[in-house]
Chain A
Amino acid sequence: MSNFDGAAANLLTMGPKRCTYKGGPMATAVPIVDYLVLGDNPHLIARECTGCGARFFDRRNACASCFATTFSNAPISTTGELKAFTIVAFAAPGVPVPFVAGVVDCDGTSVRGNVIGVDPDPDHVALGMKVKLTTYVVGTDDDGTEAIGFGFAPLEA
């Protein structure tokens, strides 16, 4: 972690924090990835380059677009439009199939995620459909901590 610069280091304090969640009075929860922020209004957060505004979801040594080394945290819109998808029917062992993988345009920021809350078939998923971020419990570890994942569900009209 020695290659973290100051701005990236801020992310550590923001990063995956154990917190109480609706799983029960004593249950704690961690986000599946550190760019998912839990709480009353779960949302994603990107590292935004202070030089050019490019957004990244993973830790960065420098900006891939302009080479700057400082980043701020930018919350990502929780609604968007499905701009690409596939229905994966055959995957590596351990990956439950079928599932809908897609890319959602959240107010100009492309976000990768599964489309959930729909039947995984071409009759129920469409390019351009409006979706919103939603979270769910992925699993529980031996300490009773829940891992919280996210996906995009159809936005009710």
Chain B
Amino acid sequence: MSDDIWILGITMTKFGKHPDLDTVDLAAQAAMAALADGGVTMADIGVLAAGNLIGGGGLGQQLQKQIGQTGIPVYNVSNACATGATALRTVIMAIKAGECDMGLAVGVEKLSGAGLLGAGGTAKSDKNVYEPSGRYGAVTNTDGRIGTNNMPGTFAQIGMEYGHKYGGTSFELFAKISEKNHSHSTLNPLAAYTKKMSLEQIMGDMMIAYPNTRPMCSANCDGGAAAVVISGAKLKTLSLEQQRRAVKVSASVLTSDPWSESCQVLPDVNTLTRMASTQAYEQAGVGPADLDLVELHDCFATAELVHYDNLQLCEQGGAVDFFTSGAPWRDGTMPVNVSGGLQSKGHPISATGIANIWEVCHHLRGEAGDRQIQGARVGLAHVIGLGSACGVHILEKSAA
């Protein structure tokens, strides 16, 4: 146990609109609640990693000024949608390296009112005289003329590519995945959207990028999440109650995408996720069949399908059959996104990679109330940020 890494305290704020809280407020709320959950204070923390994308930089130091300035090293991290997982992994690496025995990871984002994730990218106005610029020598804006840069469209193609390769996909199939997650969200009081949606409602909603309608896209919202990480040796010096509620980090993996033929034409979210899950299963000494629940990065309904396969929850090429078997519903053999997933829980980007770990910990601690997956002992949390970065963590219930 002494070399092990544990989550001592963890929390997420309510996801949704927080008009009265700024980015630092949300980070402070999450961090203070995680410290309280772990029964420790900033005096115990030896390292802080703070994840945030659009807050203007330097969140970690701003946060210290609200919750405690102790002179510890601060790492401000930014890694697209994998930012939260990267902050957590930064703290885990510091503890593994023996630099300290306890650390705090925080991820926070304020996005409500930001419109569609990644839909931005200001269209530069056409120049009066065409001059090539940039690495493609473009004479005018190419977004929408040479494919799409927007996230709904990108992930739509990723799902369609899977369908082309293996067959069996349809608009209705992808909508059914969304129906599952919206149904799960009704049991999660911290989710941004908690309304059940029928298949007809989902398919009939506003089309964003075929086959993803609006409820099939991750919801932009505000939120924060934080975790206190501790070494096994230090944990042994704490109370039995703290040891009982601690959750073991059996695997912590971060990958980037290796080169593949089409990865710079359409992002390849598959290869690096499969690599990360393979490494994680090896590190943890468990296999997919041992998992009691999975929180995966369903930034769009089309993305969830491919990650069933990439996380090896099914045979290669078998994601459609896996879904239609009912396995990923909360009462199925492999519950996926019982939190409601990004489509209903919301996706405050930098918070997501810690919030999904909170969800898994919540079940492993037996504290998930109405949505508790009974007897959960092992869970997996996955995030991916385009570019790309993939984080996979495997968590195990304490034996204490």
Asked if A58 and B136 sit within 8 Å, CB to CB, the answer is yes
A-B pairs with lowest CB-CB distance, top 7: A34-B137, A94-B123, A110-B262, A95-B144, A86-B156, A84-B161, A87-B210
A109 to B144, CA, bound (A): 21
Is B122's beta carbon under 8 Å from chain A?
Answer: yes
Asked if A33 and B210 sit within 8 Å, CB to CB, the answer is no
Asked if A32 and B139 sit within 8 Å, CB to CB, the answer is yes
By a CB distance below 8 angstroms, the chain B residues around A19 are none
By a CB distance below 8 angstroms, the chain B residues around A16 are 132, 137, 139
Asked if A88 and B153 sit within 8 Å, CB to CB, the answer is yes
CB contact list, A126-143 vs B, under 8 A: 127-128, 138-139, 141-143
Is B114's beta carbon under 8 Å from chain A?
Answer: no
Interface residue tally for chain A (C-beta within 8 Å): 53
By a CB distance below 8 angstroms, the chain A residues around B146 are 32-33, 112-114, 149-150
Is B261's beta carbon under 8 Å from chain A?
Answer: yes
Asked if A32 and B157 sit within 8 Å, CB to CB, the answer is no
Asked if B138 and A33 sit within 8 Å, CB to CB, the answer is yes
CB contact list, B295-345 vs A, under 8 A: none
**Residue on B with the closest CB to A89?**
B207
Is A103's beta carbon under 8 Å from chain B?
Answer: yes
By a CB distance below 8 angstroms, the chain A residues around B232 are none
- A-B pair count, CB < 8 Å, reads 172
A140 to B301, CA, bound (A): 40
A12 to B84, CA, bound (A): 42
Is A7's beta carbon under 8 Å from chain B?
Answer: no
A59 to B134, CA, bound (A): 9
By a CB distance below 8 angstroms, the chain A residues around B150 are 88, 91-92
Contact-size category for B: 35 or more
Is A69's beta carbon under 8 Å from chain B?
Answer: no
A99 to B274, CA, bound (A): 32
- Mark interface residues in B19-30 (1 if CB within 8 Å of A CB, else 0): 000000000000
A30 to B206, CA, bound (A): 37
Is B39's beta carbon under 8 Å from chain A?
Answer: no
By a CB distance below 8 angstroms, the chain A residues around B122 are 92-93
Is A101's beta carbon under 8 Å from chain B?
Answer: yes
A58 to B138, CA, bound (A): 10
For A122, give its contact among B128, B136, B165, B171 (CB under 8 Å): B171
Is A111's beta carbon under 8 Å from chain B?
Answer: yes
Is A74's beta carbon under 8 Å from chain B?
Answer: no
Asked if B206 and A90 sit within 8 Å, CB to CB, the answer is yes
For B152, give its contact among A90, A94, A128, A147 (CB under 8 Å): A90
- Mark interface residues in B189-230 (1 if CB within 8 Å of A CB, else 0): 000000000000000001111111000000000000000000
Taking the closest CB of chain A, its distance from the CB of B317, in whole angstroms, is 15
Asked if B142 and A32 sit within 8 Å, CB to CB, the answer is yes
Interface centre among A84, A99, A112, by most chain B C-beta atoms within 10 angstroms, is: A84
- Mark interface residues in B230-265 (1 if CB within 8 Å of A CB, else 0): 000000000000000000000000000001011011
A129 to B212, CA, bound (A): 21
CB contact list, B98-123 vs A, under 8 A: 116, 119-123
